[in-house]
Chain A
Amino acid sequence: MLSYILKRLAIAIPTLLLLIVISFLLMHSAPGGPFTSERELPPQVLANLNAKYGLDDPLWKQITTYVWGIVTEFDFGPSFVYKDRSVNEIIAQGFPITLTYGLLSFAVAVIVGVSLGVAAAVRHNSALDYAAVGVSIGAQVLPNFVMAPILVLVFTLWLGWLPGGGWQGPEYWIMPVIALSTSFMASIARITRSSMLEVLTSNHIRTARAKGLPERRVILRHALKPAMLPVISYLGPAFVAMITGSVVVDIYFSTGGIGKAFVDSALNRDYAVMMGVTILVGALTIFFNLVVDILYGWIDPKIRY
């Protein structure tokens, strides 16, 4: 097990470094520097700015300084647009918010999705099963940017139950969480249902039933664990897609998470912030994939380390 974890780490760390270097090179190769604007700057001012931000150093030195700053001090450098703010401050402001509704959405998607999938599989071909299949097919075409306006239309404009945007208390969390989790909930339900149906026909379940275990115990103790394997391998991509979806939530519900910082910096051409967010999201993804891999290795005894 330990060597398995180490092997995974040996892939994760170079991946992260590569991601940092690639995004740095991308930024470096972009046409127009960060100080290009409609108003032409005097050459001396430009030179001073470049010196201040270290942009006159040779490329390799810029890269190593940048990578070193991130690795040792978790420092993403200064923002190119807001003179008095660092990338860290901008990210630190939005990150707790993204984390709050992100984790909530993830939990909702997994818990509701798995329960729905298991219920549908256990009552195969019942009304409940058809309803669950119907819901999960319907929700497939309802990604976050479709759900968000529909929710606002129904719950804010028509019914007036929920605030349409902002981030002040739990009632502001509801719509972002629903918008973000619906399509993943549906996918998880579909995957759980089909893998549960397959597991329920296997020999060890027949044995468990034959020795007279109550059905509840058969499902929860014997069927659920092996049925979770495909769900777990779906969690990695789902996590990435959810982080990506948080950008839409931040913009549409004005929740103020890092997605807002990302789109603002995209519109301002504030490359430093864009890179910071991209690298942070990449690091989270890599970390999460590592966790999923370890979880997978732990649940599935057949996996080769």
Chain B
Amino acid sequence: MVMTSEQRVGATEIAAKGRSPWADARRRFFRNKAALMGLVILGFVVAFALFGNSLAQWSNEELDYNVMGQIVELGGPSIESGHYFGTDDLGRDLYARTVQGTQISLAVGLVGALIACVVGTLYGAVAGYFGGRTDSIMMRLVDIFMAVPYMFVLILLLVMYGRSITILFAGVGLISWMEMARIVRGQTLTIKGREFVEAARATGVSAPVIILRHIVPNLLGVIAVYATLLVPLMILTESFISFLGLGVQEPLTSLGALISEGAGTIAYGTTWQLGFPLLFFCLTLFGLFFIGDGLRDALDPKDR
């Protein structure tokens, strides 16, 4: 990445102090025990999602005819049968299904947060950089968007356009960029008055290039913090919709869909169907929240 003039100025100042702001942030982050714990938990969940299948003795689609019809008696978690987490009510291996659900949930979180970040950052940076009437119209629009009950609109969209996973992935991101846009706009307002932006403008650099090359790189800290905090929110949104049966459709599954299945069958005594997906759901959120909080403490200039 090309160094912006501000970073260069920063670098000389730091040479005197002997550490860069990023190294500083890293040190603060690693001293934070909760954040480290979050990192370990998330590492475990990600490893489970990526490599969990290699331990599975059943695929996520196979039906185990031995336990079919007697799930309550035979479908429980056991090492001998190879169903570490038991089976679901159709006799599918819950371990393999949980691996799959974790993969989908993490993917929704990442893709959703990425979309929200890109849209929010560009929107906020444009509004902040141009200022004036453009800014007030754009931010008034954000105000209006924020009053819309998004979950309902997203469900409306999913129903109309056939509950496709693409719409779900894009939708959860597209309903959450407004907060990001506000934060980025606020930061842009302070950055655009700095000398290096003025210098760029004076040498005739075009507005889109100034925004992308000089303003956005200086916002990376803030963006990183809010992106990490967005991921769990995306996972929550997707799980909510899948819990209602309107999100991810069979044969795909997500943690929300698995929790929904488990919640529907607890009356028959198959508690494991709720327990294992729920455990991974909570672990994922825990890890992400702790990391997000840790990053905020480490990077947010307000708290220094």
Contact = CB atoms under 8 A, between A and B. Distances in A.
B201 interface: no
Interface in B127-178: 140, 143-144, 147-149, 151-153, 155-157, 159-162
Interface string A11-44: 1101100110011001101110000000000000
Nearest to A11: B143
Contacts of A27: 156, 160
B98 interface: no
A143 B161 CA distance: 27
A146 B259 CA distance: 8
18 contacts: A15-B143, A23-B153, A26-B160, A140-B289, A141-B286, A143-B239, A145-B260, A146-B278, A146-B282, A152-B263, A240-B149, A243-B149, A244-B240, A248-B240, A263-B246, A266-B246, A278-B153, A282-B152
Contacts of B143: 11, 15
Contacts of B285: 140-141
Interface of A: 11-12, 14-15, 18-19, 22-23, 26-27, 29-31, 137, 140-143, 145-146, 148-150, 152-153, 157, 164, 240, 243-244, 247-248, 251-252, 262-263, 266-267, 269, 271, 274-275, 277-278, 281-282, 285-286, 289
Contacts of B243: 145, 248
Interface in B112-136: none
A282 B159 CA distance: 19
A278 B246 contact: no
Interface string B225-244: 00000000000100110011
Interface of B: 140, 143-144, 147-149, 151-153, 155-157, 159-162, 236, 239-240, 243-246, 256, 259-260, 262-263, 266-267, 271, 274, 278, 281-282, 285-286, 289
A277 B278 CA distance: 30
Contacts of A277: 152
Contacts of B153: 23, 26, 278
Contacts of B246: 263, 266
A15 B149 contact: no
Contacts of B263: 145, 148-149, 152, 252
A11 B149 contact: no
A146 B232 CA distance: 15
A49 B193 CA distance: 61
Contacts of A15: 143-144, 147
Contacts of A140: 285, 289
Contacts of B156: 23, 26-27, 266, 274-275, 278
Given A143-B240, A266-B155, A157 B149 contact: no
A19 B140 contact: no
Contacts of A244: 149, 151-152, 240
Main secondary structure of the interface of B (DSSP, over half): helix
Contacts of A150: 274, 278
A247 B244 contact: yes
Pick from B153, B157, B239, B271 the residue with the most CB of A within 10 Å.
B153
A31 B236 contact: no
B91 to A, nearest CB: 21
Contacts of A274: 152, 155-156, 159
A260 to B, nearest CB: 11
Q: Which 5 A-B pairs have the closest CB atoms?
A: A149-B263, A30-B160, A141-B285, A244-B151, A145-B243
A130 B256 CA distance: 30
Nearest to A284: B149
Contacts of A251: 244
B35 to A, nearest CB: 13
Nearest to A244: B151
B196 to A, nearest CB: 32
A19 B240 contact: no
B209 to A, nearest CB: 34
B149 A145 contact: no
Contact of A26 (B140, B157, B236, B286): B157
A98 B22 CA distance: 49
A12 B140 CA distance: 11
A80 B256 CA distance: 30
A19 B159 contact: no
Contacts of A19: 147-148
